[in-house]
Structure 1
Amino acid sequence: MTLQTLNSDLLSAPKLDWDFLLDAPLRILIIIVGAIVLNIVMRLVIRRFSTAVAKGTVGSAKSGENSKFSSTTAESQRTGIEPTVIRERRAQRAKTVGRMLSSVATIIISVIAVLMVLDQMNFNIAPILASAGIVGVALAFGAQELVKDYLSGFFMVIEDQYGIGDTVDVGEAVGEVEDFGLRKTAIRDLTGTLWHVRNGEIMRVGNLSQGWARAVLEIPVNYTTSMDTYREITEDVTAAMAKDTDVASAMLEIPEIAGVQSISAEYRVIRTMIKTKPNLQWMVERAFRAELTNEFDRRGIQVPIVQETVLRTLPRSTDSSDSSADSNADEQPRTTPTTPRYADRGPSPLPSDDEIRSTTDDSGTNSADGES
């Protein structure tokens, strides 16, 4: 092949349309690459934010995880919970939030990129946008409860209202949280029933185990036992409870005597409070009552009881003059005597007219003319 033949072949070959390649295809490629890069950047930002939330540093470089100024250390000193437990709970919350934010960001970026690519390919996206609007309205009416559940679950996670292992009161269900998601919460109550509660239906949450708890005891004490004696008894009970390592580790403070809560004719009720670790207040209450009962027995103090007076009425005595009636008492029902026994009824009633006439006749008085 000569040079002249090669030149003629090149001149006869079809020319590339560089204007077309630099127009729509290039813009589509830029849109796809930009969407991928933006998705990666958003995931990195969300991951960094989640890591900061998990560590409790909120992105601060000066307050490290092991620093005494970190929020984890401050919360541990305030609540008495170990820092590892606090970090695990924050890591779980941050992981849930990060996973959800990453999914939402990916979906939004992908939808926008697809619409832009279709527009560059000269597709009419107006019907698509109109259909999306109609679908959005339909979802707004049909799936509003589902959206409400997810939004409620999202804010519960962000605000750290409760987590797995907490004892909560959400109204109908009271128990330990076994599973917690963005749509529903699974709660196991004391009887073993597993409640599945939608997050959108939870109007208020009472967390019984977040941070710290308090054991509140209402102790009935006789009036013969003074307040000073009860304080001594409480100190002895606290010393006995300290011998149990489990109970001692659950108590954050020594028992506090709030004072007399109520009084009655038999005893007074003294309120005693103990600050404990989360979910351990009931164990401390049982241990305190057990040691308090033993201390009362050692000191000879009796637990006061409510005195009751029972009034009972005796059955009326029947006329037993007829021996035959007594012998047949099991076979025939007894009849009430015509003459009432006033001694059984108390004060005598007024006499009847027949009794007045009979009394007058017996005394010799003529009831007709009044002569004797």
Structure 2
Amino acid sequence: MDLAKNEDTSLKEQAEKVEKFLFSQETWETLGTIAIRVLVIVVLAAIVVRVGKLVIRRVFKVKMKVPLRQSERREQTLMKLLENTLAYVVYFSAIMAVLAEFKIDVRGLLAGAGVLGLAVGFGAQSLVKDVITGFFIIFENQFSVGDYVKIDTAEGIVEEIGLRTTKIKSFTGEVSILPNGTISRVVNYSKENSLAIVDVTIPFEVGVEKTEKLIENYLISLGKKNDDFINNPKLIGAQNFTETEAVVRIIAETKPMRHFDSARTIGIGLKKYLEQEGIEIPYPTLVTKSFSNV
């Protein structure tokens, strides 16, 4: 009997406390104040994010109007990256401020999150390295989508640059997917102008000097017709001699990665031009080391 009576008394006391809490003016004033502060924090966070994104877009919009602008894809990637970073930082700060309004120990949460983050970091070091390296590849414009690059054993055109991986497609169609953290050395063939090199074999019996003059005339006319050439192709003279022939070299500075097509244009066109002039020569040789940029 005494135990039941004590339980009834305890329940009545708890009910009275709940009733006093719910119908207390101080309680509703406190909750109202907290609600207003939370609302202000959320609104301010949204405004800061919105204004910050507008500023970032305005900066990149002005930059895109500059004549010497970089890759549009790179600029769009950087813009999105900065916008997302801004949103994460502002909203995280807003969440911490809201939790503080509810008297939650934010420092304890941050300490726990730090320990958890450290544990995750040890388990995902390669992922973090990939993301950081990818950010600097994009930020420093080491290479862009459409560039012809050589990264370790992968060589081809860059199809996609992400924060974690880079995709390179070779001429034969294979796509290499490289984690950004493994990229240590990059050869970018699209940054500067390229150099096309063509070797022409001239038999002595057709007349070396006469053929060289015809070659020079052809190169002058060719440079005016082809937009890939930066300057007129040049005949730089003999590179080698045998008992029956001389090998002369033609070089041409071209737009990035246009040296292959330009070298073929020079070789095929020169062969036809000399045949029309009555001079037979072997097909000109494209020098593969012309892959180097100038």
Global fold match (TM > 0.5): yes
| Residue 276 of structure 1 pairs with residue 254 of structure 2 | yes
Q: Which moved further from structure 2: 228-237 or 288-297?
A: 228-237
Q: Distance in 2 between matches of 1:106 and 1:112?
A: 10
Q: Which residue of 1 aligns with 2:103?
A: 122
Secondary structure at the aligned position of 1:49 is classed as helix
Q: Distance in 2 between matches of 1:110 and 1:199?
A: 28
Q: Which residue of 2 aligns with 1:53?
A: 63
Q: Which one-letter code corresponds to 2:218 in the other structure?
A: D
- Which of residues 231, 252, 255 is equivalent to 2:230? 252
Q: Which residue of 2 aligns with 1:182?
A: 163
Seen in structure 2, the aligned counterparts of structure 1 residues 45 and 15 have a Cα distance that, compared at 3 Å, is same
Seen in structure 2, the aligned counterparts of structure 1 residues 238 and 200 have a Cα distance that, compared at 3 Å, is farther
Q: Which residue of 1 aligns with 2:240?
A: 263
Counting matched residue pairs gives 259
Query: Contact 1:54/1:93 (CA < 8 Å) preserved in 2?
Result: no
Seen in structure 2, the aligned counterparts of structure 1 residues 138 and 228 have a Cα distance that, compared at 3 Å, is farther
Question: Highest Rg: 1 or 2?
Answer: 1
| Residue 28 of structure 1 pairs with residue 38 of structure 2 | yes
- Which of residues 229, 233, 243 is equivalent to 2:215? 233
Secondary structure at the aligned position of 2:196 is classed as strand
Choose between structure 1 and 2 for higher RCO, CA contacts under 8 A separated by at least 6 residues: 2
| Residue 300 of structure 1 pairs with residue 287 of structure 2 | no
Q: What's the TM-score once normalised by structure 2's chain length?
A: 0.75
The structure with more strand, counted as a fraction of residues: 2
Q: Distance in 1 between matches of 2:129 and 2:213?
A: 52
Q: Distance in 2 between matches of 1:200 and 1:186?
A: 13
Secondary structure at the aligned position of 1:249 is classed as coil
* 1:71-82 aligned within 5 A: 72=67, 75=68
Question: Can you give the 5+ residue segments of structure 2 that lack an aligned partner in the other structure?
Answer: 1-22, 284-294
**Deviation at 1:256?**
2.5
The structure with more helix, counted as a fraction of residues: 2
Query: Contact 1:213/1:280 (CA < 8 Å) preserved in 2?
Result: yes
**Deviation at 1:240?**
5.1
- Which of residues 266, 275, 294 is equivalent to 1:288? 266
Q: What's the TM-score once normalised by structure 1's chain length?
A: 0.60
Identity %: 29
**Deviation at 1:270?**
3.6
| Residue 191 of structure 1 pairs with residue 181 of structure 2 | no
Question: Can you give the 5+ residue segments of structure 1 that lack an aligned partner in the other structure?
Answer: 1-12, 57-71, 76-86, 305-372
Q: Distance in 1 between matches of 2:24 and 2:134?
A: 62
Q: Distance in 2 between matches of 1:139 and 1:295?
A: 68
* 1:88-237 aligned within 5 A: 90-210=71-191, 212-221=193-202, 226=208, 229-237=211-219
